[in-house]
Amino acid sequence: MNKKADIPITILVIGVFVICTLALITFFVSSVKEKNSFVGVKLMQKINYQIEDYFLHRDLSNLDVKTNSQGQKALYQEKKDTEGFLWWEKEVVLFSVEYNLE
């Protein structure tokens, strides 16, 4: 009925909708980034456990042992993930740990 009030109300409703949408997108992006922020802690715990197990038992059979570029045996852990969307995805190393045994 009041045509002068219809335009500001419409602008207000669109503005509130845009702000709420931006807030939801921001929370989604931050949750994705937070998911990968503690990857290194788990890998460090795992490699520390393997180092303690190696020095306690001197047994390499149940450990993840690889030969590094210098030809030495080393404990090695890494966490990989994909970045991007759909067909632009690429695999990246988020965190890696290497401990030389020799």
pLDDT digits (tens, 9 = 90+) for 39-83: 777 778 887 888 887 778 777 777 777 777 777 777 777 777 777
Query: What is the distance between the alpha carbons of residues 84 and 75, in angstroms, rounded to a whole number?
Result: 30
Q: Indicate whether 88 pLDDT > 70.
A: yes
pLDDT > 70: what percent of the chain? Answer: 89
For residue 13, pLDDT beyond 90: yes
Q: Write the single-letter amino acid at 18.
A: V
Contact criterion met (CB below 8 Å) for 84 and 91: no
Hey, where are the domains in the chain? Answer: 1-35, 40-102
What tokens appear for 29 in the block? 């992006």
| pLDDT at 66 (0 to 100) | 75
For the beta carbon of residue 52, count every other beta carbon within 10 angstroms. 10
